[in-house]
Chains A and B, each alone.
Chain A
């Protein structure tokens, strides 16, 4: 669409800008202020310069949490993206079945995040949980409070359960926007199923998939409530992710300075990743427009 150059559009943006600035800019400034001081209260505080940043960057527990976070995010992406595409491909497209499946698939997304944790806690407990009990009956010594492997596997399974629907629904909507004529043409060419997927469906999915991967990466990067309820970050610290480390430090220990420095480092990682994705999305839209023109 050809957009008109008009700076009066700023007036339409203004209310939103003020509101978001209130809930984003002022807090962010405060975080920056905290990060260079040792704050006891508003009147008792000491300037520390870059001390907290140095401490946080060299803290082995936090370094481990960052690596764990990346490992977790990449793992869930590697599972959820192909699975989501697969589910989108087999979802019925017409009739009451389509609506029913759509609602059922969406369901996990609508559950408060700590309830998701509770659901899986109940589901996986060895004594009262169907999954935990079944695995034990089958002779596997399943125990998420003692075995880090079990805890990790369960959290990943929970995340797959919780968020694969997002990818599936995104892809489903991408697939629905492909005109029937494309499929008919493919049928005339006797194109194999794989060829249809590779040359018709996948190109159409790329756009929605970039959005999906971005959203998924970001949400998995700030995961908090689900593992907190399910494992509490344990056993040990094997499932303690960044948000939980941060929340423990900020709320639990009231260490304003260090947690603010940590917040800023966390935020910078997010900023870089978001920027890379955003640039990719924008360049893709530009290419699309050039092809249409």
Chain B
């Protein structure tokens, strides 16, 4: 029995070790190294652990210089901040668009639900890159959107949307919408209708019932959806580089420049380590809080 338990725990932990902790250790090691003109472009490198003193000299050559460097130039914290802002606002917008969608899906007649579900997932069948590029032809100055708006007469001259932050928001909301819709839908679908009836019987208006019953009960779905959107959006590189302008500042682009233009893997790794810490801390704190609440409820 104990062995079985151990095994069950072992599976997720070895997954975590192999796919997260080991890669993280490698990135951290590079972040503590120095730039060099060589393959790979940093020193020191660890060529297998021969003996303990080798390993000790290797460790002594590592330092936090690159992390200190990141604090010296405003570019980095501004990029983190601007990424966080873009990720936060797009998460909010994804929720505003995604929740009604999920709600409508969950309220639809049960024979329609599989079809609606299918429609929500369908865009995934096309390559992500192609879908982002397609937005270029929609948003450009000669694009479909401007043509339609000009034709309808809403605007007199074409709007400049492509190569701006607006295009980045549109791209992120569009791309990550299914990640919001699916968990929210899953939460709403399980909702017991009798609870709503009870709320109304007890004098709630329909809106009050929605706000006091439906929304709190779909909270786990909303939170899961927000995490699924916020985390990848924060480090997003493809959408800002295809749809954004040269003044769109996101940490993914800064990371690219460090890695490709400066060839400075150690600084690039330091940027990545900080990004990871910024993501992990709030998640861990949040989970702690959840756990406490759950225990309090018991």
Q: Is this pair of chains taken from one and the same complex?
A: no
Contact surface of B with A, Cβ cutoff 8 Å: none
Contact surface of A with B, Cβ cutoff 8 Å: none
